Chains A and B, each alone.
Chain A
Amino acid sequence: MTVQQIIDGLINGDLPRAIEIFAPELILCAAIVLLLLVRMIFGVQRIPACWVALLGTLVAFTGVFAQFMYLKTDLSITGVADTPVEELAARLASAYHLTPEGVGSVGGFFTDLLMHDQFTLFFRLGLLLFVVLVIALTVLTGIPDNDDGPDFYTLLLGSTVGMMLAVGANNLLMIFLGIEMMSVPSYAMVGFLKGRRQSSEAALKYVVYGAGAAGVMLYGLSLIAGILGTLSLPELAGHFVTVMHGETFGPTNAAAVTLVLGIMMVLVGFAFKLSLVPFHFWCPDAFEGAAAEVGGFLSVASKAASFALLVRFLLAFSGPEEVLHGLRVFLGIGLAVIACLSMTLGNLAAYTQTNVKRLLAYSTIAHAGYMLMAVSALLIITDAPATEGWTRSQIFYQSARAVEGLMYYLAVYLFMNLVAFSVVAILRNETYSEEIDSYNGLVHQNPATKLLCLAMLMAMFSLVGLPPFGGFFAKLQIFTSVLYAADLHWSMWVLLAVAGANTVFSLVYYLRVLKAMFINPEPEERRAIQTPALVGTYIALIALPIFLLGASPLQSDLTDTANYVARTLFR
């Protein structure tokens, strides 16, 4: 493709549609510019940066919500709204001037560099919801202070834009740009408490590991691009089949070995972002050194975006050909091994921790392992050859179920981790400590601490996967997917057994925190903990979904939505 063709293509049709789809990201970019200008013109005292950031993300959130509902409810076709939610969505859609040719038509935009579909929209929606909640938390806990606010929110929103680009990536170059755009601001965010020794050490470790992993990933991408002769994700599978010239997939074929090497190098970059063993070393240090708010943001947002990107990247190699099946099974088993290691190491290391943030970091590593199980099962199931005895509709249904499980898990994980890190942040402001011992007997002090302890209890029981909380159903779905995948490959039985044993074992260290809060006696001298009503309301508000997503009609609503989105991925 020549430059002239690209420019012609942009002007003659792609651009108006692309701008319409890309509007929420542009709003975030405008908010970033506004953040910097407001400080210059009015100063930070008259207009605090947090309100500008909150307003920008809320507007962007409504924009993505309108886009998602526009596609989901077929508003683009019928134009009729039945329920109050659809009514609201229809209003928003007309406010944002959504058109059937623009947001209504699924497919690549910006010359196919980015992908616009339900899967992308689901993750953009979740990410923006999460960022709104994180900004609300930072307003309540007062990190960052008023002077540093514009810098912090600029980094936060910049990182979010990167994540939103990453979940829509449809090109190898966009994968790298997305990963880097979400990483670089987060390095600075980890080191945001400049004067603290721990914070600067955490940032240095994070940036050194991160830059190294990004370099290895880029080299892998260059190998894939070179051997397949394309950067476009949808073309990768077809080019691979052509390059193989009908030979079988194996260690004696040069093209296959080079491609697997390239993919493994790219997976190093992913494993770093997802904090999977053996690329997890940065995670506990970064979380301990950074503020709890930043830790919460990194543990959920960058992980969700990376998982979406990972699914998209690996599904680029789907197709009925035998060589592609060989590649997928190889990768599926490789990811299963990494998932087993991450779960086991994360849970074992968490057992000996005394710092709550560090414990949560290891729990994050373990949970990345659980979620990776869904990706591994997906690779085994999707486009399995007919010789395995599965019908086409069965394969379609079960692949969608695997993606659905991952999406449901991430949605619940958003709330449980946010609650856990919020409680840590709020208690840090009161007790100046993040050690488990400092939580001794908190539940007995006053109603506010009772609420905090109860929220922590819900978050931790859900993290273990106990019914009736959301975490139980999330785990159940992923385990079911792996069980079906075990029908196709025996290694999935091992994965299932390891995951089951880990779930039981993880109960022990979560209970240690809860034991400190609920059972251990209160220390003699402790200053009274005062929690403003607003903070209590916030905690109650974000803890409630953990319960609702497990034991209310919302559970089936989210499952249906996730299922609808997952099915569109395999159309």
Chain B
Amino acid sequence: MNEIALEGYLGIGALLFVCGVLCMATKRNGIGVLMGVELVLNGANVNFVAFSKFGTLGLDGQIASMFVIVLAAAEAAVALAIALNFYNNHLTIDVDRANELKG
């Protein structure tokens, strides 16, 4: 089996990052935006793990990615609760409809 070089992993990470940013920028559904955030965080995670395998980062990179997984779960829990509360008050989770505060 051929070994995959560092560039391959970084490419996947960058792809996930770009997909995530596009998802955050274009999705109108609040849950969709949060899915974009997860993609971005996991793109960074792939980077951390790849650098720890190929670079001098060592165990630090693995640990960092595990912390990020936990944090992403916590952030998603809070964000979903806020999205639910928004739905209860507005009967939609379309982020474009969140336009009552402006000026």
Residues on A lying within 8 angstroms of B by beta carbon are 1-3, 172-173, 176-177, 180, 184, 187-188, 191, 194-198, 200-205, 207-208, 211-212, 214-216, 218-219, 221-223, 225-226, 229-231, 284-285, 288-289, 352-355, 358
Contacts and interface: CB of A to CB of B under 8 A. Distances in A.
Given A1-B58, A215-B44, A222-B48, A176 B68 contact: yes
Contact of B83 (A3, A188, A198, A204): A204
A219 B43 contact: yes
B64 A201 contact: no
B100 A218 contact: no
B57 interface: yes
B101 A202 contact: yes
A188 B58 CA distance: 36
Interface in B46-75: 47-48, 50-51, 55-61, 63-64, 67-68, 71, 74-75
Given A1-B59, A207-B79, A222 B86 contact: no
Given A188-B81, A212-B37, A226-B50, 8 more contacts: A184-B78, A196-B89, A203-B82, A207-B78, A212-B21, A223-B47, A229-B55, A355-B103
A184 B88 CA distance: 21
Nearest to B77: A184
Given A204-B30, A204-B83, A231-B60, A198 B100 contact: yes
Contacts of A3: 59
Contacts of A216: 21, 40
A218 B89 contact: no
A32 to B, nearest CB: 15
A215 B88 CA distance: 27
Contact of B33 (A1, A198, A208, A226): A208
Interface of B: 10, 13, 17, 20-21, 24, 30, 33-34, 36-37, 40-41, 43-45, 47-48, 50-51, 55-61, 63-64, 67-68, 71, 74-75, 78-79, 81-83, 85-86, 88-90, 95, 98, 100-103
Nearest to A287: B101
B20 A201 contact: no
Given A204-B82, A207-B82, A211-B34, A197 B90 contact: yes
Nearest to A217: B44
A218 B70 CA distance: 14
A393 B38 CA distance: 48
B44 A288 contact: no
B89 A195 contact: yes
B67 A201 contact: no
A208 B95 contact: yes
A500 B81 CA distance: 44
B85 A191 contact: yes
25 contacts: A177-B71, A180-B74, A184-B75, A187-B79, A200-B88, A200-B90, A204-B98, A205-B95, A205-B98, A208-B79, A211-B37, A215-B37, A215-B44, A216-B21, A216-B40, A218-B44, A221-B44, A222-B64, A225-B60, A226-B57, A231-B64, A285-B102, A289-B101, A352-B103, A355-B103
A288 B59 contact: no
Contacts of B67: 173, 176-177
Contact of A187 (B43, B45, B82, B88): B82
Contacts of A184: 74-75, 78
Contacts of B59: 1-3
A435 to B, nearest CB: 12
Nearest to A3: B59
Nearest to A285: B101
Contacts of B100: 197-198, 201
Contacts of A197: 89-90, 100
A154 to B, nearest CB: 13
B15 to A, nearest CB: 12
Contacts of B41: 214-215, 218
